[in-house]
Structures are given as C-alpha cells and as structure tokens.
Amino acid sequence: MSSNPLLRVTHLRKHYNVAKGVLFAKPLGQVKAVDDVSFTIAAGETLGLVGESGCGKTTTSRLILNLEDPTSGEILLLGQPIHGLRGEALRTYRAQVQAVFQDPWSSLNPRMTAGRTIAESLIVTGWGTRDVIAQRVRELLDQVGLRADHANQYPHEFSGGQRQRIALASALASRPRLIVLDEPVSALDVSIRAQMMNLLKDIQGRDGVAYLLVAHDLATVRHMTDRTAVMYLGKIVEYAPSQSLFAKVAHPYTKALFSAVLPPHPDRAEEEIVLSGEVPSPMQPPNGCGFHTRCPFAISRCSTVEPVLREIAPSHFAACHLHDG
C-alpha cells in the first residue's frame, strides 16, 4: 500500500442496529455493513470497489463522502481525519471529494439549466465574480465535451450520456482531489459507455484527479482501474493491482464473480464457477470465513477460523485459507 496516499481508510467499520417496532422497538441485532476495511488511494489513481449488492461498497463510499459517521476506524484525506469536520472545514472537504452517481436524473435539478447546475457549487464557495464563474462553466462544458450554448438548456433536453457529462462537470467544478464514481456508466447505453469511460480517463490524465470507482460491471472496472478491492459481506476479500487481479484471481469468491461475467482467457481452460446458495444475512454472518457456505473449495477450518487478508504475491492480498502458505 502507498506510504503517502491521498486517501487512507483504516479499520473502517459501520454497524447498524436493527430493531422491530416503532414505540417499543425490540432490538433484533446488528448489521455489519462495513467490517474492518482498510485501503489507500494515491493521487491520480483509480481504485475499483466491486462485489454483489449488499457487500458494503455503497456504505464505504458514503462514509468516504462524509455522509455518515463510521462506527469505528478512520478515513484520512492528505493525513487529516475527515469525520467530525464542521463548518468551513467540512465545506472544504466537500469541495475536495466529489461524487458522480449512476442516475444523472437524481443529481440534476430539472428546473435548473446545465450552466446553473455547474455554477452552483462555485457560487456557494464564493469562487469569484459572475463573469469568472461564467468563464469557468464554459471551460467545464468544454472539458466534458459539451458546447457553451448547452449551458442554457435544461436536463430534459439532454440525452442520458449528456446528463452524465453535466453531472461530471458539476463534480469537477471545485477542482476535487477525489471523485467517487458510483456506477457512473451502468445507466448509459452500451454504445456511449466507452465514450464516458475514455472521458473520465482523459480528465484524470490532465487534472490528476483520483477516482474511487464503485461498480458491479467488471469490464468497466478492468478498463478503468489501477487497483481493485473485492468486497464480500462487509469485508475486503481480495485487493490487488487490477492487471494482476484480472490475470490471476486468487480468492474463490473473486473467481466466481469474474467467471460469471467475464469471458475466459482464450489460452486458458477455465470453467465457470456457479455459486450455490444465497448470500448469508449480514445480520448473521457465518463463523469462520464468511464465504464458506457457498465456497466450492472450502476445507474444514474454513467454518471455524476467519482468514486474514495477507500478501500472497507482490501487492496482491487475499483472505483465504488456501493461501495461508
């Protein structure tokens, strides 16, 4: 892991108490949505966070966006803890860490022109005079491949791809260090996904912005990321440079996830691993390895001893007893 990262996440936990009833709520237990997760993101790199829905990747990104407080653990941006920030310090953090979500409809106000949407955060932070902000909006529209006159149009006048470009321009307005991309292309037509991914990469190459890419589409993750973390039941089970991960998967869960959606390498005879059983309830995760109830390779200690994330090859980490060494 990088020694001087842009973002450092250390032993992050987010547990929710679950109760039944309203007036006399009866505690039912706890959901460990995020359970001891650590990773780093360097300036200008893209980290992919993948896993099935409910694995904790969205909660992790909400914690990084400072929309919720963690149960324990720490998130540091440039060495500074982010939770507990208030007032000006919180506004500065929000300018440095932005987000683009899957559905641009939900992030765009239908009654605001594209220009006003992009200018909004600049106005709030007192970026400059009206003319300076108007100039910055034109620059941003150009940066995301839109024309200056698009500033006067409303969201319904744009295609899905164009709306996502406006959401991106709005996220870029405050010159962030990190953008959380939560399924940024999955609502787009396949034909324009590649354009959006290339645009994101171009912007990163030019501005040095880092991305946390939360996605279930592994083709997008493979194309976009430098490193990838795979989550299962609130934990990272594999974490590696994307090139080495996609070339040689180590964890049985990652194998299953990848074999279900990515075409096998033409030179390797690999069978698709079909998982049996449902994802266990995060309120009652299995003892030992959380994946043992579905793992085709489980051995006896998998049901009693929890595997730890260990380095199995340079910078390649996996939590699985098959790699205990």
Rounded Cα distance between 174 and 95, Å, is: 5
Q: Mark 64-103 with x for binding to ligand SF4 (rule: CB under 6 A) and - for no binding.
A: ----------------------------------------
Q: How far is the CB of 307 from ligand SF4 (least distance, A)?
A: 4
Neighbours of 59 (CB within 10 A): 22
> Which of 249, 256, 302, 312: binder of ligand SF4 (CB under 6 A)?
302
Closer CB to ligand SF4, residue 3 or residue 276?
Answer: 276
Q: Is position 320 an interface residue for ligand SF4 (rule: CB under 6 A)? A: yes
Q: Is position 286 an interface residue for ligand SF4 (rule: CB under 6 A)? A: no
130-143 and 114-124 helices cross at what angle (nearest 10)? Answer: 120
Q: How many residues bind ligand SF4 (CB under 6 A)?
A: 14
Q: Is position 321 an interface residue for ligand SF4 (rule: CB under 6 A)? A: yes
Closest CA to 143 of 105, 122, 173: 173
The stretch near ligand SF4 (CB under 6 A) out of 130-138, 164-172, 196-204, 293-301 is 293-301
Here the tokens at position 236 are 């990272």
Q: Is position 194 an interface residue for ligand SF4 (rule: CB under 6 A)? A: no
The stretch near ligand SF4 (CB under 6 A) out of 113-121, 133-141, 196-204, 290-298 is 290-298
Neighbours of 266 (CB within 10 A): 6
Q: Is position 312 an interface residue for ligand SF4 (rule: CB under 6 A)? A: no
Q: Is position 188 an interface residue for ligand SF4 (rule: CB under 6 A)? A: no
Q: Exposure of 86 by Cβ count < 10 A (0-12 exposed, 13-18 middle, 19+ buried)?
A: exposed
DSSP-derived pairing of the beta strands 97-100 and 178-182: parallel
> Which of 93, 105, 154, 297: binder of ligand SF4 (CB under 6 A)?
297
Which residue spans within the chain are E strands per DSSP? 7-20, 26-41, 46-50, 72-77, 80-81, 97-100, 178-182, 210-214, 227-232, 235-241, 310-313, 316-318
Q: How far is the CB of 31 from ligand SF4 (least distance, A)?
A: 21
Closer CB to ligand SF4, residue 34 or residue 295?
Answer: 295
Closest CA to 322 of 245, 232, 253, 231: 253
Q: Is position 273 an interface residue for ligand SF4 (rule: CB under 6 A)? A: no
Q: How many CA atoms lie within 13 A of 30 on its CB side?
A: 10
In Å, how far are 9, 90, 117, 130, 132 from 122, measured between CA atoms? Answer: 28, 15, 10, 10, 10
Q: Mark 231-270 with x for binding to ligand SF4 (rule: CB under 6 A) and - for no binding.
A: --------------------xx------------------
Neighbours of 239 (CB within 10 A): 25
Q: Is position 166 an interface residue for ligand SF4 (rule: CB under 6 A)? A: no
| Footprint on this chain of ligand SF4 (rule: CB under 6 A) | 251-252, 289, 291-292, 295, 297-299, 302, 307, 320-322
